[in-house]
Chains A and B, each alone.
Chain A
Amino acid sequence: MIKMMQPPAVPVFPFFGGPEGPPKSANDSATSQAGYDDGKKVKIIVIDDESLIAETVVEILNEEGFDAVSASSGLSAIELAKTVRPAIVLSDVIMPGLNGIETGIKIRETVPNCKIILFSGQAATVDLLEKARERGYRFDVLAKPIKPEHLISVIRSNLPSQ
């Protein structure tokens, strides 16, 4: 089993090659347009306490031209968001410490325009979402396991309008 790593300021992927970062695909230039926003790559934070999931999702998104980083807990994600200022936050709901919903709300305090998308493998999520709805927050939820293609299209549809 992969051990959980401390959330680094800059994501490091020991399994995905050297410090140059993940290899870009050949069609990078063709798809990169869609991930751009004002000339910059769309910043995404992926939060999941299981690092394999967080890292593979980050890899997939970066493949598509996004600028994704991972965090393994709500608290570290909130800190990260202050510097990264993501356009989209993708978070698991059930996590030790702050759950995904609370994390999303907190990040929205510092990054008001950020879109929060939740994914979860548990039915208990529904109750938490109800409670959030009562407080005026509506979040989209995706059910694990998520097909990467579907995830990408959801993110694309949530991009700030161009």
Chain B
Amino acid sequence: MTNFRNSLSKKLTAMNMLVSGGALLIAAVAFFASDLITFRANLLTNTSIQAQIIGSNAVSPLIFNDARSAETTLSALRASEHITYAGIYTSKGEFVAGYWRDTRSQPVQLPAPGAEQDQFSYFGKGQFELVRTIVFQDKPVGFVLIQSDLGAITDRLRTYGLILLSIVTASLIAALALSRLFQRAISQPIMNLAAAARLVSRKKDYSIRAKPPADPDEVSLLVAAFNEMLLEIQTRDSALQESELQFRSLADSIPQMAWMGDSTGSLTWYNQRWYDYTGTTPEQMAGWGWQSVHDPAVLTDVLAKWRAALSQGHAFEMVFPLRGADGTFRQFLTRALPLRDSKGQVVRWFGTNTDITEQLRSEEALRQTEKLAATGRLAASIAHEINNPLEAVTNLVYLARRQPANVEKYLQLADHELDRIAQITKNTLGFYRDSVSPSSVNISEVLEEVLALYTRKLQFKKISLACDFGKDIAIFGYPGELRQIFANLIANAIEALSEEGNLCIRATRIASEFGNGQRGVRITFLDNGSGIPPADRKRIFEPFFTTKKDVGTGLGLWLTLGLVEKHHGSLRFRSSVQPGRTWTAFSVFLPERPVAN
């Protein structure tokens, strides 16, 4: 219990004492004052009466000049213990007889008569003086002077003082006693309330309630309000805990790994998946400890990107490997977003890691499958290309056996056809093999090789072909992949063209693509087919997106883009669907050397 210098009890006590003491004091003083005034009046009256009596008794001594009987009359005043002197004087103010209470001394001089009045009195210092005119048959015959000390008053005052003192003391004691009582009634409940509040804060136990005072009053209102507030806090607290639990359940149930960090990028929390996958402990991972599960080869890049995101407050996205508890690395797509406060300052970072290892594998498998399928399609078209010459050779051999005379001619024709077959198989069966390492590739040659495959189709559709290949354009690249790129773009163009359309292929050397001094080759495929509708333009590079209902797998351009990127090149297109002026142009840029930008 803290003891304030001016505690509530002390204040109450002081107040009490002040009030009661003050009231009593004022009452007492008023009473005493009035009493004193009355007393003085009485004294005056009594003394006046005494003077009148003396005066009337002193008439004959005065007339007959009997000093002795005047003195006797005066001596009766001995009965009043407070009269110090009395004297009788002639009407001229001459002393006749006197009375002295104590020692006999000189008679007191009669004060000069003032205005015509019967009586004159005044209260002086320590004494009271009264002069009365003695009147006989309406004629003043003399004066009486009585002097009295104020001992009565002094005595009275003394008594009064004693009474006052005892009253004040009594009231003080009463006040103190009352304060004790008040303390119990007022301070105590308040102190209890304060103690309860402190207990709640310390123990963080919101089920505690303050005890209301025994008597319902304003303090009990305060206590009730306090308890209500505690209830509210308790409700909020359990709601918060509930929410926290929900969050944790959610965070632990999602398949991703998730984490949170503060504004400096130091991570403060990871969900259970993270610990399950990495087999680490919170102590190891806190702050920047996550670096230990990263592949050292890419860690520098990761840190650079993360720091950039932190300093600029923009979203972070990156694919990188993370080590699992078994020691193997899997690929994760990681995204992190900043959380800002009302002022726009970043206060927290939320991030997730999604395991895309399977997805990447599927994508790769898809690519391989598509390659196989493409090879299959190619094989089908090769089969057709070969079937015709084979049919011819079959017939020629049959005829050669039946017509020995014409054997020479038949065998010569058969030879021709066999050459044709050999050329086709040589060109195309080695076509789609993936190249292991890059080599110098002559672009014009590759384009012509691919075009040879589509000769029949071009003839079939009566498509006019215009080629403009620069001389000796070569890049350092992957031959098999380049053939695939060109084959896809040429096939798409042919597909888009109706009969008697135009296909124009141009290959030129480029000194500086995008103005960054990168040297390479640009190959453009221009057709005046139906064009690519604006709605489709964003999607043509998506896997499985196709406008060829039955024929297309929708993977061609997706694969082609991937192969172009393998060369660190670029693939762009423009198209027009204006009726009467439809066209599409695909443009591939391949740098001289496949180096990363």
Interface set of A (CB-CB < 8 Å, partner B): 1-2, 15-17, 23, 25, 50, 52-53, 56-57, 59-60, 63, 94, 96, 119, 121-123, 143-149
Contacts and interface: CB of A to CB of B under 8 A. Distances in A.
Nearest to A127: B550
Given A121-B387, A144-B387, A25 B395 contact: no
B402 A25 contact: yes
Nearest to B420: A1
B500 to A, nearest CB: 12
Interface residues of B, number: 27
B384 to A, nearest CB: 4
Contacts of B398: 60, 147-149
B417 interface: yes
Contacts of B393: 145
B399 A63 contact: yes
Interface string B1-40: 0000000000000000000000000000000000000000
B interface secondary structure, majority: helix
Contact of A121 (B388, B396, B417): B388
Interface in B206-247: none
Interface in B385-407: 386-388, 390-396, 398-399, 402-403, 405-406
B402 A63 contact: yes
B491 to A, nearest CB: 15
A56 B380 contact: no
Given A59-B399, A148-B398, A15 B388 contact: no
Interface in B358-415: 380, 383-384, 386-388, 390-396, 398-399, 402-403, 405-406, 409, 413
Contacts of B403: 23, 25, 63
Contacts of A23: 403, 405
B184 to A, nearest CB: 105
B402 A145 contact: no
B88 to A, nearest CB: 170
Nearest to B460: A96
Given A145-B394, A146-B391, A60 B399 contact: yes
Contacts of B459: 96
B396 A56 contact: yes
A121 B395 contact: no
Nearest to A149: B398
Nearest to A122: B384
A100 B384 CA distance: 16
Contacts of A60: 395, 398-399, 402
B380 A123 contact: yes
B416 interface: yes
Given A59-B399, A121-B383, A144 B388 contact: yes
A160 B386 CA distance: 34
B402 A121 contact: no
12 contacts: A1-B416, A1-B420, A50-B392, A52-B417, A60-B399, A96-B460, A96-B462, A119-B391, A121-B383, A144-B387, A146-B394, A148-B398
Contacts of A145: 387, 390-391, 393-394
Given A1-B420, A53-B391, A123-B383, 19 more contacts: A2-B413, A17-B406, A52-B417, A57-B395, A59-B395, A60-B399, A60-B402, A63-B399, A121-B384, A121-B387, A121-B388, A122-B380, A123-B380, A144-B390, A145-B391, A147-B394, A148-B394, A148-B398, A149-B398
